[in-house]
Amino acid sequence: MRCGLIVYSTTVLIVTVTLLSFYLPAMIYHVRSNNRRIARSGGAVLAQGHYGVPGAGLYAGALPAARGPPGAKVMMVTANQPLPCTTRRGDWIMELALRNKLMYATLHDYKTWWSTELVSAWDLEAAWNKIPLLYVLMHPESPVSQGVEWMLWMDDDAIFTDMNFTMPFEQYDRDGINLVIWGDPQRVYRANDIQGLNTGVFLLRKCEWSRQLMAEVAALATPSIRRQIGNKGRIAEQGALTWVLHSQAARWK
């Protein structure tokens, strides 16, 4: 019995230390950041600067950075494959990247969803897995995304370099923006260049428009279609999204 209590206590201690290692740095950064801003302004918090943010349909603009308005609820979504990394430091780097995301989400009051499951046992493995994952999370009756208005996808190796960076959600609302992604309109809509956009980081409004877009991309995942529109069957989800936007521009632009 004593041995069981020791094992239980040790497990609780390990879990507690692990959670603190993720969230304590975020809280320390938040306090220090506020103190620095107050000190520079003589007691008043300074206004943040301006940022250029890629927008829906490869739209871009430089707008005042500010916290999302009340009700602009964001869920940051990322995923890791349920297998160890094949390189010596890979898992350690992925852990640092995850900490970085959790720190940013904590500072900006974002919800988070870290997935390690393969949503589809079909052809949607590796980078393709983000497509059905977002499709499922955006379901109107999904219990984990109730109250969420935006999904911010981050690849497992993507990180934030500016913890004060924020997105102009009010501008997106005024312009009717549903998709915010980095890209070059000419290379996507005219050239169908799979390097014309990057799906490592993008923002999706939680709505039926976005779910249908994910469904269209997922429909291109079968090997036969990949070979038809890709290069020797190597087209990934980035190339599939480019193809959808290029071939159905009137619908999604």
Specify the pLDDT at position 99.
95
This prediction's pTM: 0.69
Q: CB atoms < 10 A from the CB of 20, how many?
A: 11
Higher-pLDDT residue of 84 and 198 is 198
Specify the pLDDT at position 74.
97
> Residue 64 — very low, low, confident or very high, per pLDDT cuts 50/70/90?
very low
pLDDT at 75 over 50: yes
Specify the pLDDT at position 225.
65
Contact predicate 179/210, CB 8 Å: yes
Specify the pLDDT at position 68.
46
Rounded CA gap, 199 and 147, in Å? Answer: 24
pLDDT at 42 over 50: no
Q: Which of 48-52, 186-190, 234-238, 248-252 has the lowest mean pLDDT?
A: 48-52
> Residue 170 — very low, low, confident or very high, per pLDDT cuts 50/70/90?
very high
* Architecture of domain 48-252 in this structure: Alpha-Beta Complex (3.90)
Specify the pLDDT at position 253.
80
Higher-pLDDT residue of 228 and 84 is 84
Per-residue pLDDT reduced to its tens digit, 174-199: 999 999 999 999 999 888 888 889 99
Per-residue pLDDT reduced to its tens digit, 94-153: 899 999 999 999 999 999 999 887 666 555 566 788 998 999 999 999 999 999 999 999
Q: Which of 40-49, 129-138, 229-238 has the lowest mean pLDDT?
A: 40-49
Q: CB atoms < 10 A from the CB of 94, how many?
A: 17
What is the token pair recorded at 151?
């999904």
Specify the pLDDT at position 150.
97
- For the chain, the average pLDDT equals 74
Domain map (residue ranges) of the chain: 1-41, 48-252
Specify the pLDDT at position 43.
30
Give the burial string for 120-154 (b: 16+ CB within 10 Å, else e).
Answer: beeebeebbbbbbbbbbbbeeeeeebeebbbbbbb
Specify the pLDDT at position 241.
92
Return the half-sphere exposure (C-beta side, CA atoms, 13 A cut-off) of residue 173: 12
pLDDT at 39 over 70: no
Specify the pLDDT at position 125.
62
Specify the pLDDT at position 40.
37
